[in-house]
Amino acid sequence: MNMDPCEAKKLTLQDILQIDQKCLQDMKNWQIESAAWNFIHKIIALNGSARSIITSSENESEDSQDDQDDITCDFPNSVHPLDVLCLVLHCCDHFLQQEIILKMSMCQFAVPLLLPAVDGSGCTFMLWGMRDIVKSWRPQSLAETKGFMQENLVQISMPTFSFVRLGESKLSKSTILNQVLSPVQQTQDFFVHSDMEGADVTREISEGLVEISWYFPAGNSDIFPEPVAFANLHGNLEDSLNEFAFLTQISSTVFIFVQDINKNLFDFLSQYENSQTNFVIIVKGSRKINKDKYTNLTVIQFGSNANGATVAKRIRAAATDFIKKGCRVLSLEDMAEIATKLGISVDENVIECQNAKADAKAIADEIKDVAEYKKDTMRLQGHLWKKAELEKEMCQMKKQGDKRTESYKLELQKQCTEIRKNQFNYEIPNSISKFIHSVVKKNYTEISYFLKWLRFYLDSAARKNLSALQDEYKEKSNSSRMNELSGLDQKLSKSSLGIEHFLRELGQFYEAEYFMLKEENARKREFTQLPAFAADLLLGGFPLELIDGDASNIPMQWLQDVLTELDNKTGKCSRMGVITVLGVQSTGKSTLLNTMFGLQFPVSSGRCTRGAFMTIMKVRENSQQELGCEFILVIDTEGLKAPELASLKDSYEHDNELATLVVGLSDITIVNMAMENTTEMKDILQIVVHAFLRMKEIGRKPNCQFVHQNVSDVSAHENNRRGRVKLLKHLNEMTKAAANMEKKTEFTAFSDIMMYDPEKDNCYIPGLWNGVPPMASINIAYSETIYKLKQHLIKRMKNKGHRIGDFIEWIESLWNAVKYENFIFSFRNSLVANAYNQLAKKYSELEWKFTKAMHKWLAETETVIKNQNEQTVDSERAKCKNAAYSILNEEEESMKKVLEKYFSSENNEASLVERYKAEFLTSVSCLRKKLEASSLSKCDEAMRIQKENLKVKKVISEYKEVIDKKVTSLVMKCREQKYKPDEKTLEEEFELMWAVTISKLNITALPEPNIELDFLTSLKKDMASKGSAVNQRLNNINQLPKQEKLHIHESMGKYLFKKYKNKLSFLGSDFGPDKLEVFFKSLSDTCSEYIKDKLSSKSDYNETYGLELLNLINSACDENNNLRITSDIVLDLKLFILGNALGDFQQMHKDFVRKNDPLICLGEMKPKYCNSFRYLFLEKDGIWERAKHLCELWLKPALIEQVNRKLGLEIVDHILDNNESNQYSTRGYFQFNVMKHLLEKSNFSDYLEYIDDYETFVKKWIHNCILEKCDFHHLQSIILSNITKKITGFLNEPRTLQFQKMSDFLLQLKEVLRNDLAISDDMNVFCLKDEANIKEFVENLEKSLSDTEAEIMSELKSVNKETILSNVVVKPVDELFKRVFGCGKQCPFCRVPCEAGGDDHKNHFASIHRPTGLGRYRSFFTQTLCHDICTINVSGNKSFIHLNDSSHPYKEYRAVYPDWDILPDPSIEASDYWKYVLKEFNDQFAEEYKAQPADYPEEWNTITKAQAERCLNTAFGMKSNNS
């Protein structure tokens, strides 16, 4: 039976409960493994077919030998069910034996009373095995009052009727016993009998087994009026005399089945003639028997044709008669004492069990009244409800009144601290000391015995108390004393007492000690070993309290440390999947879980203990990879909508909190629905839907499984189709209602918040009982359906495992969020934050890849455009734009695919940020539009500049033709002279020719535009519709104001603010000066950036520039229309900005003219002509000189330009690939690094600039970082080397040497480098002598190029870094700034910058908010800087003024600022960073802001720099040692 490994090591319950591949097999496949394992699996699953043995021989012969008549019944590998039972029990430890016997009892199987030894000698009385069984029944004496009795089976005294066989018998003893115990026509198989499947084979090891079963009345049509026990000795009693002797001493009557009555029988019975036990002989046949001398002997004879029903009826009548007359009654505990006296071993008598019993009894003996005992012993729990209330009040601050938010919060914290002090100072009660002594430093077996015994005694005590209170309640409810019922209600709710109360008390002692003894005092702690003990309990399958339902509290520190110990014990790398059940009270939730997984959640009708419990199951190693986890954690919850809580005003919130917590922790939530009441069902669905909606919002995606209990019809699934449609309708209604309550109206259907398949995610489970309890057996269909549900759940569980550390984080963050009234806008979780950071980092990488691709395209395009002539420039424009669209489409598609893949992956991180998916995908489209507009605009600008240059070059080319002819003519003239002039003479001749030629060319200068007139014309058109007053002013304006000279440290924004703040003073009451200053700064920065961009293009002024500036001003004013800026002020702004731009654009034109003036351009070409003239005249090839000439005058300027064009991109890449590049990976991480740096320096001026001029501060930070981290010369050399390699590559190609003319060679060189170098187009000057030895020229050019490269690098090294940065085309400071600056929005209260990723995020958020005084807020009356922090205010009851409207509660800030997420601080220490900054620089900030110093709480003075840094690390999810 494959049980050999169990000989050396007994099977444990944990071995059986492990999840593995067998859980996914059909039940019928268990038989293939072995009959023993089939029995174990099925009995743990409460399957009534557990004892059915289908041998492999039967399976094989079923089809092949159907028609054969000679099949033997006794196959060589057949095994009797009772042999299986005996073998299994011998292979199990005591705790698994107990579980198996409990499950057998639930299935109404007879259980072993005396278990024979495997070797045949002796037996064991199974008292421990039966100690967990609790029975409820209604004796006939309570039938009318509908009362009931409940007691532990081993303590119930009742008559016992034993059935034995002497010799052979024609009657089947077990079959008749089943009929005795069963109602007529409804026989149950309590005892295994020969007609059962697999029971027709010879017993091998179960001879001498005594089984026992019981009858308990239900108060209606009962067979027996009181409980009765029936024992059954298997085999011939002559072979089991010791067992028979035991039965004679414990039984009221022994029924002996015989074949015949003879002298031997009477001789045998004569040994027991003085026994108090009655003997009844059951025999078939009719003969007169003389039994006069046997007063305790009765004979029941039957005719040979009598059937089993007749025999059963007579036996039942005889038993009833014995009961009426009064007979011996014993409990199982009494029987155990008799067994010991007879030398029969009792399983409970092992030393560990007895020691544990003594320890447990010592505690239980102190319990007289449960409520009083809890009050005296569990004193720390008495404070829990108060502490829980204070913690909630710290979050919700409903009783704040007119107290300042921070002060009130500190006051509440002091009260919590006082409670902890009181708890810490309590002496440990005697019972708790005994409990600790009994569990600490003991092995797991001893602890398990102790906890079992303690639970046994506690349940007994609680039952007695509960029974008395229920009787009193019934009496008072039926009288006029109804007013006393509420007190009894309280007593009833306090009458439960379990191990969880002891563990809860230990948790409180641990938390109080942990709170009071910190840092250097931590070594004084006495309870440090308790979390390890609790973790061992969890690993052993013991349910541990997750939520204390009595106080609606989670002991967070205790729970964290227990789970941390669990993590340590499992190797710190274990993953857990989580399954939870939710539903109405007393609908079979615990039974469902216990049946499904073989767990041990307490099962009872009605609820005494509130909250949630968790237990752990191990996943077997061979299944861990497939399931993606090492453990499955199962959470059992209290019932929702409990009647005893219905009267409490917060019962709905309580249920909502519970559902939110457990759904948030779960991967799969089972919603147990066993109700016909539609109203109640709707209430439950509302609670559940609320929880799922909240999870959708925070990125959790639990699967939902609806379980409909008590639906037994085989056609249930099909017939309930309409029911499923109706359920979905209800779910949609509930979703809409919940979404309205949570202010998330975009969700209108259940499918919006959860993937739900009505066909797959609904399970119909038949009723638990087959018949009427207490004699009902478990419905086999119930077990089988639950097993199918288990298979479905385990399949759904794949790859859902979480690290235990992550689970701890989820508990803490969910609990913190639940304590706030508005969950969705109060949720904070480092796992979600980390997942968001990873997503933002991924997006940032992709964004740079996309941006870089477009920068590269633009760099190449601008180079290509510069290489175009008048004929090709327009056609090239179309090609470039097509290439741009191709890159844009490709990169956008690629970026979206990567993000889609990220979100569709199975990793848990992706699911946590699912709600941001749309935002980030939209951000990709926004990025594409932005890059498209920017790149194509610059491309058009490059085209415009090239066309202007071509116009200038066309004019110059006409002059060049003249000069070319003059140079050629001069060469001919000099050659005709008889003497040979020297080089000096040649130079003089050339200078004379050049001067004469230039003077005759009649060169005209470029036209001078009237920029001021353009600006004024555009302004008048723009403001024409702004009213007569504005038009009148415009008509009187003939010139723009002169450019203002600003102070060296003054920005244009600050100047604008100073200039116009008096005119705008009427706005001060609405906004405060800071809002106006922000507006002016933003406007001036936008316009300055535009002007700077145009100036850097080095093109000529264009008349559209003024119009574009005016459009920028209009857009800024429209976006800030709430500032109510008048048309007069808008006109002033436009005049000021245009006046400041005028000088810049005039200088721009002058620079362009200077660079492109034909005379100047020809002058620059003069050395080139001079050299060409010399070479032509002297008729020397001068190949080395010509090569050097080409490198110096044409290639070198192009190479330097290209280095500057590419260097910016390389700098950004270098910074992002640097070891410290993480600081630019996300906006949040950048903030962390900046704030940490500020804290380290602790310089007021740095903080002031960071707060007041964040943009300037960040740019300066990035600028300094680039100067510090980048080796510019190294990057320049790489760029230069790459281009020169390309030139060298061309020079070394065989086809290069095939050119005959210099012009052809140079034309091909320019074509090869068209994307890399913009070479001056006056190379025809170089080709005045077109004939050349190309091979020799290429060799010399290659050498000269190497010299030129070295020369360029030497020149570049002499340039300082600031100059290099100013010369690059792509500005690295700007690119990195865009990456970390984000949207630029600031918190409306404290001005902290937004950290959200992507370009199109809907909501702004920041990790740490500041005291509002740092955002210049001050008290209206006292002018003191405000010290309130918005993250604290949003959980308080204070209000703020927006515009001139009425005040708005901070809790409803989203009504005014819907695009900001300001999460409440999870703790009083959460804002320590900025509290520290304000208290350190309070006076300086006050002086700078012209206010009085903040009057912050005294406690802030104790905040240290280390605490501020710790706060920073926590807020950004960094480890304390992070750099």
Contacts of 1260 (CB under 8 A, 6+ apart): 1249
State the Cα–Cα distance between residues 1318 and 862, nearest whole angstrom.
9
Residue 1483 CB coordination number (10 Å): 12
Lowest mean pLDDT among 222-236, 652-666, 921-935: 652-666
Is pLDDT above 80 for 281? Answer: yes
Using DSSP's 3-state secondary structure scheme, residue 891 falls into helix
Is pLDDT above 50 for 100? Answer: yes
Beta strand 123-125 with 345-346: parallel, antiparallel or unpaired?
Answer: parallel
Calculate the dihedral angle through the C-alpha atoms of 1079, 1081, 1083, 1089, rounding to the nearest 10 degrees.
Answer: -160
Cα distances (Å, whole numbers) of residue 38 to 57, 84, 1081 = 16, 10, 79
Place 370 in a pLDDT band, splitting at 50, 70 and 90.
confident
DSSP state at residue 1511: H
Output the pLDDT for position 93. 93
Using DSSP's 3-state secondary structure scheme, residue 536 falls into helix
Using DSSP's 3-state secondary structure scheme, residue 637 falls into strand
Instruction: Count Cβ atoms within 10 A of the Cβ of residue 1235 and give its class: 0-12 exposed, 13-18 middle, 19 or more buried.
Output: buried
Q: Which residue has the higher pLDDT, 94 or 1251?
A: 94
Is pLDDT above 90 for 1518? Answer: no
Supply the mean pLDDT for the chain: 82
User: What is the mean pLDDT of the segment spanning 385-401?
Assistant: 81
User: What is the mean pLDDT of the segment spanning 1114-1131?
Assistant: 80
Place 1433 in a pLDDT band, splitting at 50, 70 and 90.
confident
Is pLDDT above 90 for 1219? Answer: no
Using DSSP's 3-state secondary structure scheme, residue 580 falls into strand
Q: Which residue has the higher pLDDT, 992 or 51?
A: 51
State the Cα–Cα distance between residues 817 and 243, nearest whole angstrom.
63
SS percent in the chain: helix, strand, coil, step 5:
60, 10, 30
Output the pLDDT for position 959. 60
DSSP state letters, 1402-1462: SSB--SS--BGGGGT-B-TTT-BBP--BHHHHTTSS-EEE-TTS-EEEGGGGGGT-TTB--
User: What is the mean pLDDT of the segment spanning 913-931?
Assistant: 85
User: What is the mean pLDDT of the segment spanning 975-988?
Assistant: 64
Lowest mean pLDDT among 39-53, 888-902, 1385-1399: 1385-1399
Burial 519-556 (b: 16+ CB within 10 A, else e): eeeeeeeebeebbbbbbbbbbbbbbbbbbbbbbbbbbe
Place 717 in a pLDDT band, splitting at 50, 70 and 90.
low
Whether residue 495 contacts residue 371, with contact meaning beta carbons closer than 8 Å, is answered with yes
State the Cα–Cα distance between residues 508 and 978, nearest whole angstrom.
119
Whether residue 437 contacts residue 1496, with contact meaning beta carbons closer than 8 Å, is answered with no
Burial 1154-1177 (b: 16+ CB within 10 A, else e): eebbbeebbeebeebbbbbbbbbb
User: What is the mean pLDDT of the segment spanning 1234-1262?
Assistant: 89
Which helix (H) or strand (E) segment holds residue 279: the answer is strand 278-284
Is pLDDT above 80 for 1470? Answer: no
Retrieve residue 1102's tokens.
């264009």
pLDDT > 70: percent of the chain: 83
User: What is the mean pLDDT of the segment spanning 1509-1515?
Assistant: 87
Output the pLDDT for position 678. 55
User: What is the mean pLDDT of the segment spanning 265-291?
Assistant: 82
Q: Which residue has the higher pLDDT, 679 or 14?
A: 14
Sheet holding 297-302, edge to edge: 297-302, 278-284, 253-258, 160-166, 228-236, 210-215, 111-116, 123-125, 345-346
Output the pLDDT for position 364. 93
Among 598-602, 611-615, 829-833, top mean pLDDT goes to 611-615
Whether residue 1033 contacts residue 1129, with contact meaning beta carbons closer than 8 Å, is answered with no
Task: Name the phi and psi angles at 441, rounded to 5.
Answer: 60, 30
Q: Tens of pLDDT along 218-250?
A: 988 899 999 999 999 999 999 999 999 999 999
Retrieve residue 484's tokens.
């006393």
User: What is the mean pLDDT of the segment spanning 733-745?
Assistant: 78
Is pLDDT above 80 for 1199? Answer: yes
Place 1066 in a pLDDT band, splitting at 50, 70 and 90.
very low
Closest CA relative to residue 720, chosen from 735, 709, 731: 709
Retrieve residue 183's tokens.
């109602």
Output the pLDDT for position 1067. 40
Q: Tens of pLDDT along 483-540?
A: 666 666 666 667 778 898 899 999 999 999 999 988 777 788 889 999 999 999 999 8
State the Cα–Cα distance between residues 1494 and 1477, nearest whole angstrom.
12
Is pLDDT above 50 for 647? Answer: no
Output the pLDDT for position 235. 92
Retrieve residue 247's tokens.
């039965």
Is pLDDT above 60 for 63? Answer: no
Output the pLDDT for position 58. 46
Among 37-46, 389-398, 996-1005, 1365-1374, top mean pLDDT goes to 37-46
1227-1241 and 1472-1480 are packed helices; what angle lies between their axes, rounded to 10 degrees? 40
DSSP state at residue 140: G
Which helix (H) or strand (E) segment holds residue 760: the answer is none
Contacts of 1203 (CB under 8 A, 6+ apart): 1276, 1279, 1280, 1352, 1356
Is pLDDT above 80 for 587? Answer: no
Is pLDDT above 60 for 1355? Answer: yes
